[in-house]
């Protein structure tokens, strides 16, 4: 398991599919080898409805995010200690430049609304 993973993101996608809110960030628009996907499907407990998948995990892991920091040029996700072995990371940072992150801000706020995740947005 990696303690910290960083990558430069060239693609940020935010969309809703079948009532699931999805944010995908990767280093390639079609075939990324470094990526993170955060999703929320409202069904039951809010924290259990939020999942993350990375290029180091074999599946989406629910209720795994402890902290999320969104800055003008980066998104950092810290993983709960008991979920790190499933996610394959302790901390994951996607760095980006020249991206319009207005939609990303909107989706991050919607995904984490009402959750126990410590959310910090400073853009």
- 3-state DSSP assignment of residue 17: strand
pLDDT tens sequence across 22-52: 999 999 999 999 999 999 998 889 999 999 9
State the Cα torsion 108-109-112-113 to the nearest 10°.
-160
Q: What is the DSSP letter of 111?
A: H
SS3 state of residue 108: helix
Give the side-chain half-sphere CA count within 13 A for 5.
22
pTM: 0.95
Q: pLDDT for 106-123, tens place per residue?
A: 999 999 999 999 999 999
Name the residue with tokens 């960030």: 25
């Amino acid at each position: 398991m990696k303690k910290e993973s960083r990558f430069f993101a060239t693609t940020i996608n935010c969309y809703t599919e079948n009532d699931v809110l999805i944010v995908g960030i990767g280093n390639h628009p079609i075939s990324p080898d470094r990526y993170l996907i955060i999703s929320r499907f409202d069904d039951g407990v809010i924290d259990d409805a939020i999942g993350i998948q990375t290029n180091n995990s074999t599946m989406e892991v629910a209720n795994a995010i402890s902290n999320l920091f969104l800055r003008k040029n980066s998104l950092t996700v810290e993983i709960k200690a008991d979920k790190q072995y499933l996610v394959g990371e302790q901390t994951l940072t996607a760095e980006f430049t020249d991206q319009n992150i207005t939609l990303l801000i909107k989706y991050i706020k919607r995904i984490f609304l009402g959750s126990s995740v410590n959310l910090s947005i400073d853009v």
